[in-house]
Amino acid sequence: NIDKIALTEITKISDPDGRGNLSVIEKDVLPFEIKRVYYLYDVPSDSSRGGHAHKELKQFLIALSGSFDVVLDNGKTRRSITLNRPNKGLLIPSGVWRELENFSAGAVCLSLVSAEYDETDYIRNYDEFKTFEF
Ligand code: TYD
């Protein structure tokens, strides 16, 4: 259910002497074991990434720098969530169609994911997504 998807706070340690912030994700914070890490960068502002759903894979997205919008779609309704802070993350469960768009200059999208790369876990066709039984 995409209504329940919300940004989650990531632990932020602010330096008492003004040396900036540090954020940390310990392995037990996420509801899955991290099997892979990848990141998107140098994405033109008029480009869209994603455009697929996963049968099993879960992932946690963070805007390490800059901002972008994540459009979530359950086959019936859509909503858009802006990621623009390095200490906020978005957990996307399996079975959700997502599109990432409106990347700002210098935006970096870090993705922590529950599985190794497996093309057979992707649904890249929207009509197939709508009829797929997750
Ligand atoms: P894709 O997941 O379609 O990117 P996005 O959803 O962000 O637009 O992946 C783009 C290409 O990169 C595709 O050919 C598969 C390849 N790829 C890998 O080889 N390994 C990976 O871990 C990922 C995420 C993608």
Q: In the prediction, which pLDDT does 114 show? A: 98
**Measured from the CB, is residue 41 less than 6 Å from ligand 1?**
no
Kindly report, residue by residue over 67-86, the tens digit of the pLDDT.
Answer: 999 999 999 999 999 999 99
Q: In the prediction, which pLDDT does 85 show? A: 98
Kindly report, residue by residue over 6-36, the tens digit of the pLDDT.
Answer: 999 999 999 999 999 999 999 899 999 999 9
* Distance from the alpha carbon of residue 39 to the mean position of ligand 1, in angstroms: 10
**Measured from the CB, is residue 130 less than 6 Å from ligand 1?**
no
Number of structural domains (the chain) is 1
- Domain residues for 65? 2-131
Residues serving a catalytic function are 52
Q: In the prediction, which pLDDT does 65 show? A: 98
* Distance from the alpha carbon of residue 127 to the mean position of ligand 1, in angstroms: 20
**Measured from the CB, is residue 121 less than 6 Å from ligand 1?**
no
**What's this model's pTM, rounded to 2 decimal places?**
0.97
CATH of the domain at 54: 2.60.120.10
The single residue listed with the structure tokens 């197939």 is 128
DSSP codes, the chain: -GGG--EEE-EEEE-TTS--EEEE--TTTSSS---EEEEE-S--TT--EEEEEESS--EEEEEEES-EEEEEE-SS-EEEEEE--TTEEEEE-TT-EEEEE-PPTT-EEEEEESS---GGGEE--HHHHHH---
Q: Across all residues in the chain, what is the average pLDDT?
A: 98
